[in-house]
Amino acid sequence: MDTWTLLLEGFATALQPVYLLYALLGVLLGTAVGVLPGIGPAMTVALLLPITYALEPTAAFIVFAGIYYGGMYGGSTTSILLNTPGESASIVTALEGNKMARAGRGAAALATAAIGSFVAGTIATVLLTLLAPTVARLAVSLGPSDYFALMVIAFLTVGALLGDSAWRGMVSLSIGLFIGLIGVDSLTGQARFTLGIPQLGDGIDVVLVAVGLFALGEALYVGSRLRNGEIPIIPITRGWRTWMRRSDWARSWKPWLRGAGIGFPIGSIPAGGADVATFLSYATERSLAKGEYRKQFGKGAIEGVAGPESANNAAAAGVLVPLLTLGIPTTATAAIILSAFQTYGIQPGPRLFDTQPALVWALIASLFIGNAMLLVLNLPLVGMWVKLLQIPRPYLYAGILVFAGLGAYAANFTVFDIAVLLVLGVLGFFMRRLGFPIAPLVVGAILGPMAEEQLRKAMQIGQGDPAYLVHSPFSIVAYALLALIIALALWLKRRRARFEAALPSIDTTTIAAVDEEIESHEPHPELDRGRLSTRAVPLQRGGADPDAEPGPGRDPDRDRDA
Amino acid sequence: MSTAPAGAPTGASAAARSARIEAMVFVGLLVVLAIAVLISTTTIREPPGSTNTLGARVVPYAVGGLLLLSSLVVLVGQLRGRFGHAEEGEDIDLEHGTSWGSTGIVVLSFLSLMLTIPHLGWPLGVAILFTGASLALGAKRWWLAAAIGLALGVVTQLVFGTLLGLSLPATGTLTSWIGL
């Protein structure tokens, strides 16, 4: 059967009402947690791992796919509308998007982010559909030494490219590898680092590692220095149909496509994930912009939102290529999804497309469906999500702790795991305080045992000769590429750090003035659209008058400062 | 974007003394851990006559070595004044100090689950955790926190215990008289 037949069958599965509901649940959860500050997709998937104990695999992966894509959409809303630094994957969006919002163009920024995410997400999912079966076919011939090479790439790129410095990433990675070693060795039956505690014999459950470091560690860390008082949310206008001006569309569509083109390949090679892709897209858009548009960069240029947001989503789809076809996770979220596969006894890899075609194609089909749902959820209904930003933080983080406890307890139903979780949570807490990245640790803990298995297999085949590890052309090319990727990415990272350090702070009136000047040259100037409406969203929880919501469509304040 | 607000520790020179000590202690402990890993690896038994060309010790040695090397490099970096930056986020206030008190209460609330799940059951355990943590994090009204906590406990019990079939204990040894 060819790809399209299989994909259609996948749609037949994913379009069943119950699976549509699971997809909706996934994208709702994903967007919610993407919007909520402090919660990322990695943490959400970790917190929801317990559902794998109860749901059948197809349903569980449709939920996870929804969360995965949804988290990417939600993050941009937060970084555009909240006037504080956000997550690193969307920080480039905050660069321009937040400035646009401050100049009263937040709605346009949200719209170009959502539509761009949809366009790029769809293109990237099509590419995934076309590419994944081919990669899987090629990967069938890979031997243990090739896999080991791929895993080393994943380790070193994730470790070296995240966080303040490469060495801090390596520290985090080696702690993760160590956690992965704890337990009885599967090949020789010898206990390693169990300290004689019987509960550690099976090793530390991956759920505990993920939940402890992401959920508990984050909750403790945020709790220790929780921001007092309100975080100002920048209000947006009502009437989403008029959010984007004619000129916004004209300026956005090319960055969307370029973002997809940049994001997908970078996502599918292990090169530090979405971070690198968004920055590359931003740099590209800035250098391609002409004249006055270029001068607007740093002062709310819409290209600087459209491109990176598309790149971000396309990279998210790209990450699924190595995950599904090789079983190699290149981000923390992908590593946790991989462990969910393992909970079901399913091993992602080249054989996955042969052994579990129904599951894989339903999953891919649900990515298309989820993407379409997300566009609806994020354009007309964006106001609903903005209200989520007003959840009182004490309750939000206390709720995260409850779900962390649930995840830990449901793994084995022993309270011993609560203690293990707390130890890991405290470790995550200090790592965050002291500038060690978390993702390498999680990737190391999940991928480490698999890498050791492949290494031992390879050594067995090679009869103990280490040279066997580099005997195949594939592994030689892989190691050469590794050096290249790391060198390039470190250079890019340095450039990005310099760039971010050099950014001047600009006041809101300048941003608005630049925007108005540009718009007045347009053939069809639409100056008054996207004006600030202070009433669309109450600024303060409980403080604003609930009756002050204006009727749909018209904004009473639109001429106020025109 | 220069994300660190003015006045916050932006680098090595501005980093507070206590933060520097904390960073040195943490990395020092990692060095100790690495040495412990390397030493205890020597005690992992290698079954004689094993057919494996790569025994149970090789990878632990490599991991311990990597941990030792990388934490030593970070340690030396810190001695030269290169410290890490605390993670940033929308809800995180880096300008003010750490509130150790509330963090401690949150940890204790979480740890209470070890006692409350077997003795009081899941819903009550959740209620205690939620109330304690949210009050420590600054919730104003204790009765609201307790009500939300209890509701969350009952809802998770129903959804994950009854609906999805996870064996969460509805009551514990001290509350078995409730009789559900």
pLDDT tens digit sequence for A470-529: 788 888 888 888 888 778 877 877 777 777 666 666 666 676 667 666 666 666 555 544
pLDDT reported for residue B62: 92
Neighbours of A554 (CB within 10 A): 9
Token couple for B46: 């290698």
**What is the helix (H) or strand (E) element at residue A191, kind and residue range?**
strand A191-192
Burial profile A404-431: b = 16 or more Cβ within 10 angstroms, e = fewer: bbbbbbbbeeebebbbbbbebbbbbbbb
Please give the C-alpha separations between residue A485 and each of A273, A448, A476, A494, in angstroms, as whole numbers: 12, 21, 14, 14
Long-range contacts of A545-549 (CB under 8 A, 24+ apart): none
Best of B32, B42, B63 to disrupt the A interface (most A CBs within 10 Å) is B63
pLDDT reported for residue B135: 92
DSSP conformational letter for A95:
I
User: B-contacting residues of A 31-50, CB under 8 Å?
Assistant: 37-38, 50
Best of A36, A53, A167, A461 to disrupt the B interface (most B CBs within 10 Å) is A167
pLDDT reported for residue A467: 80
Q: Write the pLDDT tens digit of every residue in A531-555.
A: 444 333 333 333 333 333 343 333 4
Three-class secondary structure assignment of B132-168? HHHHHCCCCCHHHHHHHHHHHHHHHHHHHHHHCCCCC
Q: Which of B1, B19, B63 sits opposite A174 (nearest CB)?
A: B63
- How far is the C-alpha of A105 from the C-alpha of A237, rounded, in Å? 9
Contact B83 A78 (CB under 8 A): no
Contact A178 B67 (CB under 8 A): yes
- How far is the C-alpha of A364 from the C-alpha of A356, rounded, in Å? 12
Q: Write the pLDDT tens digit of every residue in B124-159.
A: 999 999 999 999 988 888 999 999 999 999 999 998
Q: Write the pLDDT tens digit of every residue in A437-481.
A: 888 898 899 888 889 888 888 888 887 777 888 788 888 888 888
Which residue type occupies A533? S
The domains of chain A are located at 3-517
Which of A80-84, A396-400, A414-418, B70-74 has the least mean pLDDT?
A80-84
For tokens 């337990």, the residue is: A183
Nearest to A42 by CA among A449, A442, A448: A442
Work out the burial of residue A483: count CB atoms within 10 Å of its CB; fewer than 13 is exposed, 13-18 middle, 19 or more buried.
exposed
Neighbours of A345 (CB within 10 A): 7
Q: Which residues pair with A191 in a beta bridge?
A: A184
For tokens 């019987």, the residue is: A198
Å from B100 to nearest chain A CA? 6
Please give the C-alpha separations between residue A177 and each of A427, A557, B101, B158, in angstroms, as whole numbers: 15, 57, 33, 37
How many Cα atoms are found within 13 Å in the side-chain-facing hemisphere of B11?
Answer: 6
pLDDT category at B27 given cuts 50, 70, 90 is very high
DSSP conformational letter for A218:
H
pLDDT category at B9 given cuts 50, 70, 90 is very low
pLDDT reported for residue A422: 94
Cβ atoms of A231 and A82 within 8 Å: the answer is yes
- How far is the C-alpha of B64 from the C-alpha of B35, rounded, in Å? 7
CB < 8 Å to A216, chain B: 110
Does A456 touch chain B if contact means CB atoms closer than 8 Å? yes
pLDDT category at A272 given cuts 50, 70, 90 is low
pLDDT reported for residue A533: 40
Q: Which residues have a Cβ under 8 Å from the Cβ of B152 and sit 6 or more positions away?
A: A399, A402, B126, B127, B130
pLDDT reported for residue B6: 40
The complex's ipTM works out to 0.87
Residue A443 CA to its chain's centroid (Å): 14
Token couple for A219: 């909750």
Region for residue B61 given its phi and psi (left: phi exceeds 0; alpha: psi -120 to 50; beta: otherwise) = alpha
> Dihedral sign, CA of A48, A50, A338, A20?
negative
Cβ atoms of A440 and A173 within 8 Å: the answer is yes
Cβ atoms of B12 and A164 within 8 Å: the answer is no
pLDDT greater at residue B172 or residue A123: A123
pLDDT greater at residue A559 or residue A224: A224
Does A95 touch chain B if contact means CB atoms closer than 8 Å? yes
Residue A433 CA to its chain's centroid (Å): 22
pLDDT reported for residue A96: 81
Residue A234 CA to its chain's centroid (Å): 24
Burial profile A251-288: b = 16 or more Cβ within 10 angstroms, e = fewer: bbeebbbbbbbbbbbbbbbbbbbbbbbbbbbbbbbbee
**What is the helix (H) or strand (E) element at residue A75, kind and residue range?**
helix A57-81
pLDDT category at A240 given cuts 50, 70, 90 is low
> Dihedral sign, CA of A143, A148, A149, A154?
positive
Cβ atoms of A78 and A94 within 8 Å: the answer is no
Coil, helix or strand at residue A233:
strand
Q: Which residues have a Cβ under 8 Å from the Cβ of A175 and sit 6 or more positions away?
A: A427, A441, A444, B30, B67
- Percentage above 90 pLDDT, chain A: 13
Does A399 touch chain B if contact means CB atoms closer than 8 Å? yes
Q: Write the pLDDT tens digit of every residue in A51-69.
A: 777 788 899 889 988 888 8
* Alpha helices (runs of H) in A82-165, residue ranges in sequence order: 91-93, 99-100, 106-139, 144-161
pLDDT for B115 beyond 80: yes
Q: Write the pLDDT tens digit of every residue in A320-374.
A: 999 999 888 888 888 888 888 888 888 888 888 888 888 899 999 999 999 999 9
pLDDT reported for residue B33: 94
pLDDT category at A266 given cuts 50, 70, 90 is confident
- How far is the C-alpha of B29 from the C-alpha of A295, rounded, in Å? 50
Å from A119 to nearest chain B CA? 27
Q: Which residues have a Cβ under 8 Å from the Cβ of A322 and sit 6 or more positions away?
A: A150, A154, A268, A269, A270, A328, A329, A330
- How far is the C-alpha of A50 from the C-alpha of A31, rounded, in Å? 20
Nearest to A415 by CA among B174, B149, B170, B168: B168
pLDDT reported for residue A413: 87
- Percentage above 70 pLDDT, chain A: 83
pLDDT greater at residue A224 or residue A106: A224
pLDDT category at A239 given cuts 50, 70, 90 is low
For tokens 């590898």, the residue is: A177
Best of B22, B26, B42, B59 to disrupt the A interface (most A CBs within 10 Å) is B59
Mean per-residue pLDDT over chain B, rounded: 82
Mean per-residue pLDDT over chain A, rounded: 80
Q: Residue count of chain A, please give it.
A: 562
pLDDT for A204 beyond 60: yes
DSSP 3-state helix, strand, coil percentages of chain B (rounded to 5)? 60, 0, 40
For tokens 């514990």, the residue is: B172
pLDDT reported for residue A37: 73
Region for residue B152 given its phi and psi (left: phi exceeds 0; alpha: psi -120 to 50; beta: otherwise) = alpha
Which of A68-77, A401-410, B59-68, B108-117 has the least mean pLDDT?
A68-77
Contact B92 A405 (CB under 8 A): no
Which of A5-19, A297-311, A429-443, B71-85 has the least mean pLDDT?
A297-311
User: B-contacting residues of A 494-513, CB under 8 Å?
Assistant: 500-501, 503, 505
Does the pTM of the predicted model rise above 0.90? no
pLDDT for A319 beyond 80: yes
Contact A226 B109 (CB under 8 A): no
